[in-house]
Amino acid sequence: MRLHIFHWEAKAMPRPANKYRVMKRELPSKPVFRNRILARLPKDESNRLQSKMQEVEMKQGTMLYEPHKPFRRVYFPETGVASIVTVLDDNTEIEVATVGYEGMVGLPAFLGVHKSPAKAFWQVDGKAFVLDAKALREETQRGSALAVTLHLYIQAFFTQIAQSATCNRVHKVKQRCARWLLMTHDRVEGDEFGLTQEFLARMLGIRRTGVTEVAGDLQRGGLIAYSRGHIRILNRVGLEKISCECHRVVMDEYRRLLG
């Protein structure tokens, strides 16, 4: 807390020392959670849940859950991005959704499912609050505000999946790439994040040569800078003009339902 001491000098008639006034300015407290789901909880529930969670650093490539293996934990991202992918028999991976500070990784555990054919891993470095899947089920089975909020999140998450499927079917690679970069930029801190062209190709379901061409166009247009596995967003407005409407539709739905 910072103290602001206001005083003045009176040369002819000095004021007694006990007349000095000390003014205190209360600084606003920093929110406990950036995650939109956790931030919506009432204070008593938030405190109870916080005592059961641990905030951890998440590095790119960290596995969150694997196909057909039991859920052990769920993750509430604070910064960074996680990716949900489907895995084909030939080990081809296609991204179906991303999760940032607006959501939670591990929805099947909330829905009462212990396994999933999908795979989830951390995509862009950041932080997350980690909660045991058992503790999540215990908390939501009591009819808590967390359960209500997760149902709202499910609706927004389904919108993202549906819009992503539509986007992959009808929009050009450059539009899809711009959408992906915007959604990632929404969730990270700052304008720069780690991302290789090979990784982005996997996420978009295209060949690396296609990403190289698109990234080159965006860089020559002054929209991004790419170097050694890092992308910096230089002109967000320009990316928004190139992107299809899918980014706006998804983000509007998250804002409508989760604030």
| Among the ranges given (21-35, 107-121, 237-251), the one the predictor scored with the smallest mean pLDDT | 21-35
- The confidence score (pLDDT) of residue 120 equals 95
Task: Give the residue with greater pLDDT, 212 vs 156.
Answer: 156
Angle (nearest 5°) at CA 103 between 138 and 121:
95
- The confidence score (pLDDT) of residue 58 equals 95
Count of H-run helices and E-run strands, the chain:
10, 10
pTM over 0.85: no
Task: Give the residue with greater pLDDT, 251 vs 142.
Answer: 251
Residue range 216-241: mean pLDDT, rounded: 90
The token pair at 100 is 């940032």
Percent of the chain with pLDDT over 90: 58
- The confidence score (pLDDT) of residue 31 equals 54
SS3 134: helix
- The tens digit of pLDDT for each residue in 175-216 reads 988 998 999 999 988 899 887 777 777 767 677 777 788 888
Residue spans of the domains in the chain: they are 34-169, 172-243
Residue range 64-78: mean pLDDT, rounded: 95
- The confidence score (pLDDT) of residue 39 equals 95
Question: What's CA 5's distance to the chain center, in Å?
Answer: 42
State how far the Cα of 109 lies from the Cα of 154, in Å rounded to an integer.
12
Confidence band (pLDDT; 50, 70, 90) for 137? very high
Residue range 228-243: mean pLDDT, rounded: 91
- The confidence score (pLDDT) of residue 28 equals 40
Residue range 142-146: mean pLDDT, rounded: 88
Whole-Å CA distances, 155 to 103, 106, 184, 250: 11, 15, 20, 11
- The confidence score (pLDDT) of residue 177 equals 87
| Among the ranges given (14-23, 66-75, 108-117, 199-208), the one the predictor scored with the smallest mean pLDDT | 14-23
- The confidence score (pLDDT) of residue 197 equals 73
State how far the Cα of 73 lies from the Cα of 59, in Å rounded to an integer.
16
- The tens digit of pLDDT for each residue in 3-54 reads 443 343 444 444 444 443 433 434 344 457 999 999 999 999 999 999 999 9
- The confidence score (pLDDT) of residue 242 equals 92
Architecture category of domain 172-243 in CATH:
Orthogonal Bundle (1.10)
pLDDT at 55 over 80: yes
State how far the Cα of 233 lies from the Cα of 227, in Å rounded to an integer.
12
Spelled out in words, what is the top-level CATH class assigned to the domain 34-169?
mainly beta
| Among the ranges given (29-43, 131-145, 226-240), the one the predictor scored with the smallest mean pLDDT | 29-43
- The confidence score (pLDDT) of residue 110 equals 95
Instruction: Give the chain's mean pLDDT.
Output: 85
